[in-house]
Amino acid sequence: MTNRRPRLYERLRVTLWTLIVPPTLWAGHFLFSYLWAAISCAKAGEFATFPWLFVAGTVIALLLIALAGWVAWHQARIPGDAPPHQDSTGVDRLRFIAKSTLLLAGLSFVAVLYTALPVVFLGDCR
Amino acid sequence: MRRLAATSLLAVAGCNAHQSALAPFGEEADDTLTLTIVLAIGALILASGVAVLAWRAARSPKGAISHEGGMKLVLWLGAVGPAVILTVLLLFALPAMRPMSAAPGDLRIRVEGEQFWWRVRYDPAGEAPLTAANEIRVPVGRTVVFDLTATDVIHSFWIPGLAGKMDMIPGRTNRLVVRARKAGIYRGVCTEFCGLSHALMAFDVIAMEPAAFDAWLADARRASDGNEADAGGAAAFAAHGCGACHAIRGTAHDARIGPDLSRFGERRTLGAGILQPTIENTAAFIRDPHRFKPGARMPAYKSMAPADAEAIARYLKGLP
Taking only the tens place, the pLDDT of each residue in B111-130 is 999 999 999 999 998 888 99
Instruction: Tell me which range, A27-31, A114-118, B51-55, is most confidently predicted by mean pLDDT.
Output: A27-31
Mutation pick from A109, A124, A126 vs chain B, by most beta carbons of B within 10 Å, is A126
C-beta atoms of A114 and B97 within 8 A: no
Contact residues of A toward B, CB < 8 A: 103, 106, 110, 113-114, 117-118, 120-124, 126
Bridge partners for B109 per DSSP: B122, B146
Tens digit of each residue's pLDDT (9 = 90 or more) over A31-73: 999 999 999 888 887 787 778 899 999 999 999 999 999 988 8
Structural domains of chain B in order of their starting residue, each with its CATH number = 2-97 (no CATH), 107-220 (2.60.40.420), 231-317 (2.60.40.420)
Facing A110 at nearest CB: one of B83, B95, B97: B83
For B147-194, write each residue's pLDDT tens digit.
999 999 999 999 999 999 999 999 999 999 999 999 999 999 999 999
pLDDT of residue B12: 55
> Would you mind telling me the total number of residues written for chain A in this entry?
126
Candidates B199, B185, B213; CA nearest to B269 is: B185
| The predicted structure's pLDDT at residue A31 | 97
User: What is the structure's pLDDT at B92?
Assistant: 84
The predicted pLDDT at position B200 comes to 95
The H or E element spanning position B143 is strand B143-150
Q: Distance between CA atoms of B22 and B9, rounded to whole angstroms?
A: 6
Cβ(B189)–Cβ(B178) below 8 Å: no
Identify the bridge partners of residue B222 per DSSP, sorted by sequence position: none
Q: Which of B79, B90, B98 sits opposite A117 (nearest CB)?
A: B90
pLDDT for position A69: 93
Average pLDDT over residues A1-30: 81
Q: Considering chain A, what is the average pLDDT of its residues?
A: 85
Q: What is the pLDDT of residue B296?
A: 93
Torsion on CA atoms B149, B260, B314, B310, rounded to nearest 10 = 70
Q: Is the pLDDT score of A115 beyond 70?
A: yes
Integer Cα distance of B235 and B229 in angstroms: 12
With 0-12 / 13-18 / 19 or more C-beta atoms within 10 angstroms meaning exposed / middle / buried, residue B27 is middle
Residues of chain B with pLDDT under 50: none
Cβ separation of B99 and A114 shorter than 8 Å?
no
Radius of gyration of chain B (CA): 26
CA distance B81 to B64: 24
Residues β-bridged to residue B147: B110, B175
CB B50 within 8 A of CB B203: no
Which residues lie below 8 Å from residue A12, measured CB to CB, with a gap of 6+?
A18, A71, A75
Distance between CA atoms of B313 and B320, rounded to whole angstroms?
Answer: 13
Q: Which residues pair with B150 in a beta bridge?
A: B113, B170
**Torsion sign (Cα): B208, B211, B212, B213:** positive
The 10s digit of each residue's pLDDT in A67-88 is: 999 988 888 887 776 667 677 7
